[in-house]
Amino acid sequence: MAAPGGESATLALFAECCAVAARTGNAPSATTQQHARTILTEANSTLTASMMRDLQEGHAIEADQIIGDMLARAEPPVAATKSDAQSQTPSMLAVVYACLKAYEAGRRNR
Query: For the residues 29-50, what does the mean pLDDT come to?
Result: 94
- Structure pTM? 0.82
Quote the pLDDT of residue 75.
74
**Cα(19)–Cα(25) distance, rounded to whole angstroms?**
10
Position 78: which residue type? V
Q: How confident is the model at residue 35 (pLDDT cuts 50, 70, 90)?
A: very high
Residue 82 has pLDDT above 60, yes or no: no
Domains of the chain by start residue, with CATH: 6-108 (1.10.1040.10)
Cα distances (angstroms) measured from residue 31 to each of 1, 23, 48: 22, 18, 22
How far from chain centre, in Å, is Cα 89?
15
**Cα(80)–Cα(89) distance, rounded to whole angstroms?**
7
Greatest extent of the chain over all pairs of C-alpha atoms, in Å: 44
DSSP conformational letter for 6? H
Quote the pLDDT of residue 31.
98
Residue 86 has pLDDT above 60, yes or no: no
Query: What mean pLDDT, rounded, does the chain reach?
Result: 88
